[in-house]
Amino acid sequence: MTEIVKSDLRHITYGRDGVAQTIELPMFKVARVIVDPHEAFGAPIVSRTGTRIRDILSLYHAREDLRDIAYDFELTVDEVRDVIAAQAASAGD
């Protein structure tokens, strides 16, 4: 198996049945963001709080203060900044 595939596979957690359970999205550096089909209908969420990434971005695009967004979702400001930065980086692809 190539190193690229091995490094990508480490982002997947498996259940006891051997089936993939969650995928951690590596583009986030501070916030641990996962996709779990059993949480938020499979939408990306901050794993610590269950906050959907789209909800964070929605408030950001509505020009809410980062501290208010963090407070509303029980996140750190650094986690909010990380979500915004990852979204901006992916928009540039």
Which pLDDT belongs to residue 50?
A: 96
**Boundaries of every domain in the chain:** 3-91
pLDDT at 92 over 70: no
Residue type at 72 in one-letter notation: D
3-state SS class at 35:
strand
Strand arrangement, sheet containing 20-24: 12-14, 20-24, 33-35, 45-46, 51-52
pLDDT at 93 over 80: no
| 4-21 pLDDT tens trace | 555 666 777 788 998 878
Which pLDDT belongs to residue 13?
A: 74
Which pLDDT belongs to residue 53?
A: 97
CA distance 67 to 76: 8
CA dihedral 9, 80, 73, 10 (to 10 degrees): 10
| 22-74 pLDDT tens trace | 999 999 999 999 999 999 999 999 999 999 999 999 999 999 999 999 999 99
CA distance 21 to 14: 5
Model-level pTM? 0.83
